[in-house]
Chain A
Amino acid sequence: MIKVINAHLFVSTATFLIALSFLFSEKLSGVIDPISLTLYRFVFASVILSPVIFLQEKYRSKIKQSFKKAIIISFFLFFIFHRTF
């Protein structure tokens, strides 16, 4: 039950963050190419997260098994983020 409540809190938070993002993506629209902006966005986010992943064995050890599925999931994300600028 707590897992379910937490899941709903997570989505509510994510929904708020996305609602806020439309204000900022509109300001960046047209500054540089949308694909370049989205690449920047992914690189920035990955760099921030990478120390957590590489410094902890429990996360680092799962990289290989996550690779294929993440490539497919990210293919759909690619279109979402690219098309929102």
Chain B
Amino acid sequence: MSLALFIILAFVSSLAGGILGSMLGFGGGIVVIPMFTLVFGLRIQEAVAVSIISVIATSGGSAMNYLRERLANVRVALLLALGTTSGAVTGALLAGRVNPQIIYFLFGGLLVYCSLVMFRGRPDDPATTFETAATADLLQLRGAYYDRVLRREVRYQAARPLLTTVTMYFAGILAGLLGIGAGPLKVLAMNQMMGLPIKVSTSTSTFLIGITGVAGAMVYISRGQIQPVLVAPVVLGVLAGTLAGTRIMPRLRSSTVKALFVPAILYVALQMLWKGWHLG
């Protein structure tokens, strides 16, 4: 394969990853890793190194627009980052002591369960009154955004902030152990536990995955595992994709975002179970 053809193919596939990732709060690795391993024949370690930079690109490109649209909530993201980053450190400490096969099965099973809960749940209907905790009041975990579909401002307030932060700690452990972004878990926790609208959950997740992805990326860079030639077209493609994705998502109905999200997390869940099976 010539360099020019590689750059074009990597750019186009990453474009798709960027669109999907920015709309659903994932890192883009969902498209990038299979593309690099199955089509370009790279080893999984090389593909993961490329993917971790694509996570940061997806996050930066998406958050840039979602912050301006006021869809991403900085306070919620930083509070949950406290859980994910401390969890990632714990995960790094535990690495080598825990059987990754068990973790893959647990994570895959958990995602299957969560996707079923979300599938059977009520359609996302932003409320006008909230059930909230005193902690959420203290931390001012609330916000408002203009919903282009509903043509009105939607106000929201987060519930169960401490419980969600603890859950994010465990998501961070998984991320540290398995080298994944755990984006689907972050979206699910924000939507199902905090009661945030799905659009706020996915856009805040894109902001959050960049913060948690930085530590991992710096490790790969320091170890000299990032190949600039492989990464560059992916970053450019992902960023172009996020430009499109962040313009499409606010125009979608919340039910459509959920309809796209459920099969996507099922796909990630199956990937996890498949990896766990093959580790055995």
Verify that A and B bind, or say they do not.
Answer: no
Listed in ascending order, the chain B residues whose CB lies under 8 Å from chain A are none
